[in-house]
Amino acid sequence: MKEKNKKEVKDWYISATHYLTSGFIIPFFVGLLAFVIIFYTAGEENFPKFVLPLSFLWLVSLWFGVIYSSKYLEKTYIIKNSDKIINLSTLYFLIIGILYRMYNFSLEVDYFIDFLFFFVAVLVFYFASKKYLKNNATN
């Protein structure tokens, strides 16, 4: 039986929505806002001091993005198999992140720190999704 006002769509679509909302859009805008605030208050010459705090902010915004996305998906879509959705969205996150990092490859220390934070972010994304994204289909 279909639940009122909820759409039944394919798992890949829900996964893409989850990844784009929680793994891309929310961290992007939080990071952009933090970058602008830090860049204009601390100055361009002091910006390298804030790379590590911005990386931690990215992880926190990713966590809150997963919470927001999970609530949105729960009230918008019928979720029958949350594990499949979580695995697919984590795979999207991993593949797109690796491709981006391969495109921007360098042998600098910052690159390796970014790669380390990226794999921590993948873990944060996966475990936060496991915690907050649940099945909501009634059989």
Does 4 fall in a domain? no
Does 39 fall in a domain? yes
Does 105 fall in a domain? yes
Question: Nearest CA to 84 among 1, 26, 3, 16?
Answer: 16
Q: Give residue-wise pLDDT tens across range 73-123.
A: 999 999 999 999 999 999 999 999 999 888 877 776 677 788 889 999 999
pTM for the predicted model, two decimal places: 0.86
67: Cα within 13 Å, side-chain hemisphere: 6
Full residue range of the structural domain in which residue 81 is found? 11-132
Does 109 fall in a domain? yes
Q: Which of the four pLDDT bands, split at 50, 70 and 90, describes residue 53?
A: confident
Q: Where are the alpha helices (DSSP H) in 3-108?
A: 11-18, 26-42, 51-76, 82-103
Can you give the pLDDT at residue 1? 46
Does 90 fall in a domain? yes
Does 139 fall in a domain? no
Does 6 fall in a domain? no
Can you give the pLDDT at residue 113? 81
Query: Which residue do the tokens 């979720």 mark?
Result: 79
pLDDT beyond 60 at 3? no
Q: Give residue-wise pLDDT tens across range 9-34.
A: 999 999 999 999 999 999 999 989 98
Does 113 fall in a domain? yes
pLDDT beyond 70 at 2? no
Can you give the pLDDT at residue 104? 79
Q: Give residue-wise pLDDT tens across range 54-76.
A: 889 999 999 999 999 999 999 99
Can you give the pLDDT at residue 79? 93
